[in-house]
Amino acid sequence: MLPLADISTNIGSLPLKNPTMLASGIMDEDAGSMKRIIKCGAGAIVTKSIGLQPREGYPNPTLIELEYGILNAMGLPNPGIDEFGEEILQLKKSKTPIIGSIYGANAKEFIELGQKMEDYGVSAIELNLSCPHAKRYGLEVGSDPKLIQIITSSVKVNVKIPVFVKLSPNATNISEIAKAAESGNADAIVAINSVKAMKIDLDLKRPILSNKIGGYSGRAIKPIGVRCVYEIAEHVDIPIIGVGGILSGEDAIEYMMAGASAIQIGAGVYYRELDIFKKIKKEIEQWMDKHSYKKISDIVGVAHL
Ligand SMILES: Cc1cc2nc3c(=O)[nH]c(=O)nc-3n(C[C@H](O)[C@H](O)[C@H](O)COP(=O)(O)O)c2cc1C
């Protein structure tokens, strides 16, 4: 039987044919792998976070799999915006929106990166203000509401495409930060980036990651992400994109009930492989049919009523 549910959604002015998006940092470093994910049915692709200059990232080990998730401190490795632009240009014909994720040390860097991303043809920009392990570029920027507002509004006035702001669960008060992004005219909030964490090797008696501290992703962080989305939804009126530990259609529905209009999948790509997008879409449709929901917007935020 054909599904009755319509799973298209909108993030402000950006329409998506389905609510599943690839999260930044997973299989999105070159045009070839992004094309593969598009073929697998993702509603949108977020690129790896890109800075002005090339960055090598941290030495190994940079990623370990733990019982309930993945711990990583890659150190934002990327080729820099000028070289990465060539990859984006190869996706110009894609009907699936490409969202350019950028990081910088100050508003000036974010503006330059945002303008370059727009010139390369992305559909929206995601400001990564939340990397848990890159000192100058991450939490030092992303836990100060004033800075968030300044950076967001500076990028907004310099580009025409929508600007999303990705927040960290490591901030003390995530709704305050979300409100600052909204007052800087952000078009949407993305929550959450990975959770600051550490793993110690008992034999070596040392932290395993070369950077010692990393960001925890995957199954274990879903309740943290759902709580953050719920709290943000209580305080802002702009759309929210939920991310963190989404491995199934029911996980996605839970985020939607908390207030998310779309969701992103990161670690899930490792666990359920590339067909995770098709599977989650089908599971969302089946759940909606079973519970007589006809469109995504009818689910968004119902947990608040
Ligand atoms: C290996 C790896 C690299 C990541 N790189 C980035 C990145 O460059 N920029 C960013 O905003 N988030 C990055 N993230 C965070 C994810 O986009 C996502 O917010 C987080 O992993 C939680 O979602 P998940 O549990 O579905 O993975 C990365 C995550 C992983 C596992």
Hunting for tokens 């909606």 — which residue is that? 288
**DSSP assignment string, 3-62:** ---B--EEETTEEESSSEEEPTTSS-SSHHHHHHHHHTT-SEEEPPPB-SS-B--PPSP-
42, 124, 129, 131: which one is catalytic?
Answer: 131
Q: What percent of the chain has pLDDT over 70?
A: 95
Q: Which residues line ligand 1 (CB under 6 A)?
A: 23-26, 48-49, 63, 70, 72, 74, 76, 101, 128, 166, 193-194, 217-218, 221, 243-246, 265-268
The residue whose CA is least distant from atom 3 of ligand 1 is 25
Rounded average pLDDT over 226-245: 98
Stated pTM of the model: 0.97
Q: Residue 291 Cα, ligand 1 centroid: separation in angstroms?
A: 31
228 is catalytic: no
Centre of ligand 1 from the C-alpha of residue 266, in Å: 6
Residue 58 pLDDT? 94
Mean pLDDT of the chain: 94
In this prediction, residue 283 carries a pLDDT of 97
What is the CATH number assigned to the segment(s) 9-304? Answer: 3.20.20.70
**Which residues are 10's β-sheet partners?**
15
- pLDDT tens-digit profile of 159-201? 999 999 999 998 889 999 999 999 999 999 999 999 999 999 9
Residue 256 reports pLDDT greater than 80: yes
Pocket mutation for ligand 1, best pick of 193, 240, 270 (most atoms within 8 Å of C-beta): 193
| SS3 at position 302 | helix
- Higher-pLDDT residue of 259 and 270 is 259
Q: Which amino acid is at 280?
A: I
Task: Note the pLDDT tens digit of each residue in 1-50.
Answer: 666 899 999 999 999 999 999 999 999 999 999 999 999 999 999 999 99
Structure confidence by residue, pLDDT tens digits, 122-166:
999 999 987 666 656 655 577 889 999 999 999 999 999 999 999
Residue 40 and residue 34: Cα distance in Å, rounded?
10
- Residues constituting the chain: 305
